[in-house]
Amino acid sequence: MKKISEMESIRECSSNYILAVNDTINVIHGKWKAAIISSLLFGKKRYGELQKEIPKITPRMLSKELRDLEANGMVVRTVHDTIPVTVEYELTQSGYAFQHVLDVMLEWGLEHRKRIIGSTK
């Protein structure tokens, strides 16, 4: 388990720890990116499919967020020159690996909610 010792040594220098964690946070900052990534975890999708599957997202936000995710190496965009053109978005290896982060977030969120509810009743 090399990763653990690597993490520990980084935590000793806590400013680097924060920088690395913020890298991850910045990749999914904003209101829509987690939803986009989650949708793409089920497989590659076209722009219009994403728009249908993500309630209330505007085309402006969808294309902006997709550009961000592409720039950060989370998704790849493929244009097929059919008529009319079709565009497919697919997660990169990092994008698929991000599922583990989302799962841990989900698990913590559920536990947290249980504790909050338990403490207020």
Partner DNA sequence: CGGCATCCTTATAGATACTG
Partner DNA sequence: CAGTATCTATAAGGATGCCG
28 binds, among a second copy, DNA, none (CB under 5 to 8 A by kind): a second copy
89 touches 45 (CB < 8 A): yes
Amino acid in position 113: R
Half-sphere exposure of 109 (CA within 13 A, CB side): 6
Nearest-approach distance from CB 87 to a second copy, in angstroms: 22
Applying CB under 8 A, among 9, 13, 21, 44 the residue interacting with a second copy is 21
Angle, helix 14-27 to helix 2-12, in steps of 10 degrees: 110
Footprint of a second copy on this chain (CB under 8 A)?
3, 6-7, 10, 14-15, 17-18, 20-25, 27-29, 31, 34-35, 38-39, 42, 55, 73, 92-94, 97-98, 100-113, 115-116, 119
